[in-house]
Structure 1
């Protein structure tokens, strides 16, 4: 449903969009609200705990945990952009959003989603340097390089978001069909951009891990191999799930027959992957668990 203002041309101008949301699951809206709210609170709490622990514990002031704190911050902002409006649409009376509001939400969503993808790539590069070039690690991964990698990830997200928003919202919109113009070229451009921002960083991480595994297998002792694998395990799990969900959500063909399925996949990518980060790094990472234990057991000042 849209609020429309007429022009002299044979099309109308959209001023608002109406959320269809989970219209197919209308009878389960309260259940979905409770589930999504719980997951959202857990995601926020988990990422805030990780950022706080890393900032207050000097033992975690390393490039690896710097990137982790940046990823947690980005994912916290990512969920803030998407989940509250979704929760509001599940129980609220008004389910509309202005054209400007839609463009703003989409801009931040794209920026942060792509930023997350390339932050994971930066983390993969960090693990590659730590394992394959350990003697030069502190020289290569200095503060300036770390800051440049984070800024680069954010810049790519901003650039792609500007291109996408300009492309989408330069189209005229109709009542029966969202865009009145021929969208074939637009769809091709979107697919190419989506492929680049998912496949490119995923490919770089894949190359990093080929080199990492190759180096680990050359380590003489099995204990040394286990320790090296342990430093990569958490990141590798997050990478597999993150890029796997992103590929299914944005690179698979869409059709009207799978609209409900597409919705569930998108929700899984939006809600579950940001929760995965704190869960994996808290449960599987010994240094983070030790830092959390030290913070909890620290005696308050008298």
Structure 2
């Protein structure tokens, strides 16, 4: 991808993750965040993770010097090719900011929201200038490493613009997933939410500790999901006949009351179980230490997936060797 100008509006955890990915791929970034100390926090973050980015792979033009903080929203977006919005997850706040961006940004710019919950049609409602170029581009933390970005358009979205967005995010060494439609929570977060709710019930009922729940995922289904996701995992569970046999054999179990997808009440007792459990798991390791460990692992895991030549969103291709 040729060098572009990316605007990042809101520089919290997700916004900073986008900044890191953008500059690691050699682009210029104009960032805007009115919060006091925002620029200092972002630059400290980038300095801290730069060795990780270098290990993962950066382009020849990558440089922290390619980041500029602006004094106004207008300065950040008026010449941008892509505007990535990351303001707090409140409908009124996001609509207000996106409406302002829509009025200022060049007509050719893509306006993408990192929202984890709102549908693009909701975000487009107050945009009167070019609502068709307002989309959802939902990443996963850490944005500078996790390749998935969920792209969704709303009622006004031009499908050609979604294809343009797909190419742009693909050029950022990401795995853009263009959704067929739109839904609250998109895809990944809805799946994670289901597991999260079950996890809370299991801990709340005294069946397992937070550590035991984590172990059940890490050493069990999580290993398989990392390669092929839930559908292909169960396809293999059906033996030679694949999914057809799996559904015949295990389909009736779907009617059994194993799961409790309605979230439990977040009582003080449950909160303390979760807080104390995860604190115990962390031991004396700082969040920063665990983040670095996570990042090392993710790089190795993604290299392994590349070596295997198979991503869940792609077809399994024969290996040469």
Higher relative contact order (CA 8 A, sep 6+): 1
TM over 0.5: no
Greater share of residues in strand: 2
Q: Provide the TM-score with structure 2 as the length reference.
A: 0.26
Greater share of residues in helix: 1
